[in-house]
Amino acid sequence: MKNALLVAVGGNSLIRAGQRGTISEQIENARITASHIADLAALGYRLVITHGNGPQVGSQLLRSEAGSFQTYTQPLDICVAATQGEIGYVLQNALRSELRERRIPIPIATIVTQVKVDKSDPAFQNPSKPVGPFYDKEDAEKKRDELGWHIVEDAARGYRRVVPSPKPMEIVEIDAIRLCVEEKIIVIAVGGGGIPIVAEDGTETGIEAVIDKDMSSALLAVQLGLKSMVISTDTDCVYLNYKKAGQKALKDVTIGEIKEYLEEGQFAPGSMRPKIESAIEFISHGGEEVIITSPHHLVEAVGGEFGTHIRNGG
């Protein structure tokens, strides 16, 4: 699709370090992020926006548990669905306001998005993604015994539930998302990596898991046939030896070079590594370029003047 661009918004765009994560804070942060996205819209890009939801899902799980004696509890797939609506609403309003100020009449829609995963994915045998609050040992063991949760210990903070993080296989609402892009509607989709579902006996059902949002973003970009995607994060570009002696910014790099750096262990798990793996996945399946930069430099980066550009090549 001509001039179509996927922008994966990092979790730090709504809740910044040191903040409590109140709704007023999230609304203000969304306004700042939306101003940079609106700049891209003003340049004529057809935009697909994805986003993280880690802190919001954690809060949703806490509410569910705290209110369990008075109302129904919510499984993880329902929590992901709820936060897609919540964050989509905040981003939609912020972006609409920014576009209105620029007198740019572009419609915006949020699509609650399901993503199919394979129940035989090895991740289900080795849950590793921490979710929800920390517990003391007694409460953690009770949760494990009563609910069948997988629990791991964090020596500094207590015990925490871990869930599978399977690979995304299919974007269920892909046709609706594609239609929005074709009709020049800014679409917000695949929030938090998507609601994980599995197909069993002809029925699709939600499952307790968390899908990496950058991997789902890459899959969405591939299924839409996009040539470029942008991953917005809390650094202006990708670095080698990050925060160490000899730190070096990567500006233009081929997929072959970035694979070598990945194998060297240059990128931290849970931080830059999944973004690099997503970039490799996208380019390996037909994408031409992945740009990694901070929200404040989106326009400069898309214009080729900033950020890290990972391209197809040796």
What is the distance between the alpha carbons of residues 173 and 180, in angstroms, rounded to a whole number?
11
Nearest to 287 by CA among 241, 231, 248, 235: 231
Confidence (pLDDT) at 102: 94
Confidence (pLDDT) at 135: 87
Catalytic, out of 88, 116, 193, 275: 275
Phi, psi of 144 (to 5 degrees): -60, -45
Catalytic, out of 132, 213, 287, 307: 213
pTM for this entry: 0.93
Is 2 considered catalytic here? no
Question: Token pair of 109, please?
Answer: 């829609």
Is 12 considered catalytic here? yes
What is the distance between the alpha carbons of residues 116 and 265, in angstroms, rounded to a whole number?
30
What is the distance between the alpha carbons of residues 142 and 130, in angstroms, rounded to a whole number?
17
Going along the chain from its start, the domains and CATH numbers come out as 4-119+168-311 (3.40.1160.10), 127-163 (no CATH)
Confidence (pLDDT) at 19: 82
Is 313 considered catalytic here? no
**What burial letters (b/e) apply to 154-193, b meaning 16+ CB within 10 Å?**
eeeeebbbbbbbbbbeebebbeebbebbeeebbbbbbbbb
Catalytic, out of 11, 132, 194, 287: 11
pLDDT in tens, the chain (314 residues): 778 999 999 876 788 777 888 899 999 999 999 999 999 999 999 999 999 988 888 888 888 878 888 888 889 999 999 999 999 999 999 999 999 999 999 999 999 999 999 999 999 999 988 887 788 888 888 888 888 889 998 777 899 889 999 999 999 999 999 999 999 999 999 999 999 999 988 899 999 999 999 999 999 999 999 999 999 998 899 999 998 888 999 999 999 999 999 999 999 887 899 999 999 999 999 999 999 999 899 999 999 999 999 998 75
Catalytic, out of 129, 167, 184, 259: 129
Catalytic, out of 10, 12, 88, 193: 12
Is 10 considered catalytic here? no
Q: CB neighbours (10 Å) of residue 27?
A: 14
Is 11 considered catalytic here? yes
Confidence (pLDDT) at 314: 59
**What burial letters (b/e) apply to 46-62, b meaning 16+ CB within 10 Å?**
bbbbbbbbbbbbbbbbe
Question: Token pair of 294, please?
Answer: 């901070």
